[in-house]
Structure 1
Amino acid sequence: MTNLPASFLARPIAHRGLHCAADGRAENSPAALNAAIAADYGIEIDVQLSSDATAMVFHDYHLGRLTSQTGALALHSAQALSEIILTGGQETIPSLEQTLALVAGRVPLLIEIKDQDGNMGGDVGPLEEAVAAALKSYDGDVAVMSFNPNAIAVFAALSPETPVGLVTDRFTATDWPTLSSNTREHLSEVSDFDRVGACFISHNHAQLDDQVVTDLKTQGVPILCWTVQSRADAVKAQTIADNITFDGYLA
Structure 2
Amino acid sequence: MLDKRFFEAPIAHRALHDVTQGRPENSRAAIEAAIVQGFGIEIDLQLSADGVAMAFHDYQLERLAEAKGAIRQHTAAALGAIPLIGCDEGIPTFAEVLDLIAGRVPLLVEFKDQDGIMGPNVGALEASAAEAVQDYAGPLAFMSFNPYSVAALRDLAPDVPRGLTTDPFRADGWPLLPEAIRTRLRAIPDYDDVGACFISHSVDDLHSPEVARLKARGAKILCWTVTSAQQEQEARKIVDNVTFEGYVPKGS
TM-score of the superposition, structure 1-length normalised? 0.99
Structure 2: gaps spanning 5 or more residues: none
Distance 1:164 1:220 in 2: 15
Match of 2:66 in 1: 68
Distance 1:177 1:233 in 2: 26
Alignment of 1:172 with 2:170, yes or no, is yes
Matches within 5 A, 1:21-60: 21-60=19-58
AA partner of residue 62 (structure 1): Q
Match of 2:214 in 1: 216
Q: CA deviation at 1:28?
A: 0.2
Matches within 5 A, 1:36-185: 36-185=34-183
Match of 1:242 in 2: 240
CA-to-aligned-CA distance 1:182-226 (integer Å, 9 cap, x gap): 100110000000000000000001110000000111111100000
CA-to-aligned-CA distance 1:90-130 (integer Å, 9 cap, x gap): 11100000000000000000000000000000000100000
Distance 1:120 1:136 in 2: 26
Match of 1:6 in 2: 4
How many residue pairs align between the two structures?
249
CA-to-aligned-CA distance 1:126-173 (integer Å, 9 cap, x gap): 000001000111010000000000000011101110000000000011
AA partner of residue 163 (structure 1): P
SS of 1:195's equivalent in the other structure is coil
Distance 2:192 2:230 in 1: 33
Structure 1: gaps spanning 5 or more residues: none
CA-to-aligned-CA distance 1:64-115 (integer Å, 9 cap, x gap): 0011210000000000000000001111100000000000000000000000
SS of 2:241's equivalent in the other structure is coil
SS of 1:165's equivalent in the other structure is strand
Match of 1:192 in 2: 190
Q: 4+ residue runs of structure 1 moved beyond 4 angstroms? A: none
SS of 2:43's equivalent in the other structure is strand
Distance 1:232 1:146 in 2: 27
AA partner of residue 92 (structure 1): G
TM-score of the superposition, structure 2-length normalised? 0.98
SS of 1:166's equivalent in the other structure is strand
SS of 2:45's equivalent in the other structure is strand
CA-to-aligned-CA distance 1:28-50 (integer Å, 9 cap, x gap): 00000000000000000000000
SS of 1:227's equivalent in the other structure is strand
Backbone CA RMSD of aligned residues: 0.5
AA partner of residue 4 (structure 1): L
